[in-house]
Chain A
Amino acid sequence: DAKTTQPPSMDCAEGRAANLPCNHSTISGNEYVYWYRQIHSQGPQYIIHGLKNNETNEMASLIITEDRKSSTLILPHATLRDTAVYYCIVRVAVPGYSSASKIIFGSGTRLSIRP
């Protein structure tokens, strides 16, 4: 199981903020929320991650609710190049191997940007 739930598709007008929701109601206290995106036929690209505080980097902002059961990825000014499938992922720790983790991908949200 992917442990996250995302809408299968969304669209957004170019230049507007794209807000992508994710539910992760069974998240554990030490699990992070990660976001990746995948442009068609390419490898996924890391966007951002967070534990419980809101995070921002040059690509996006991540808003995590206080109970940590859901989060929202915000692309502040969407462009056509942001058209991709966006994956919300909860990081699973591998027993005995604390330094690396399996990443379980769900189906993601297909974001379309309208000109």
Chain B
Amino acid sequence: DGGITQSPKYLFRKEGQNVTLSCEQNLNHDAMYWYRQDPGQGLRLIYYSQIVNDFQKGDIAEGYSVSREKKESFPLTVTSAQKNPTAFYLCASNRLAGDPEQFFGPGTRLTVL
């Protein structure tokens, strides 16, 4: 089945540690996105990538980093510089022009202790 996978679903880390969240898609989509969601809030864009080896900052990129070495993978690293990293993280992707639908993964809930 085609889709987007994120793992793990729940992740716990100690304060001051970097942590990398994985996002993999087998939909052959070129564009991928990372969002953050806090309780009772909408989604906010962290980073997005149009093609391999290229990515752009979203609205809240500070304290995060990404890479796009492969078309199907777009990992997000939450660094120790992110002041409030505990949140629900969602990865999404979509195809090129003509397909406006954005597909979302199931999300990773990160808790920093």
Contacts and interface: CB of A to CB of B under 8 A. Distances in A.
Interface string B19-57: 000000000001101010000111111001010000010
Q: How large is the interface on A (under 10, 10 to 19, 20 to 34, 35 or more residues)?
A: 20 to 34
Contacts of A107: 40-42
Interface in A1-46: 2, 32, 34, 41-46
B63 interface: no
A43 B104 contact: yes
19 contacts: A41-B88, A41-B107, A43-B90, A43-B107, A44-B43, A44-B92, A49-B100, A87-B42, A87-B43, A91-B100, A94-B50, A99-B30, A100-B48, A100-B94, A102-B33, A103-B33, A103-B102, A105-B35, A108-B42
Question: Which 6 A-B pairs have CB atoms at the shortest separation, nearest pair first?
Answer: A43-B104, A100-B31, A105-B42, A105-B43, A99-B96, A99-B97
Interface of A: 2, 32, 34, 41-46, 49, 87, 91, 94, 97-108
Given A49-B100, A99-B31, A100-B48, 17 more contacts: A41-B109, A42-B106, A43-B4, A44-B92, A45-B104, A46-B103, A87-B42, A87-B43, A94-B56, A99-B96, A101-B100, A102-B45, A103-B43, A103-B92, A104-B45, A105-B44, A107-B41
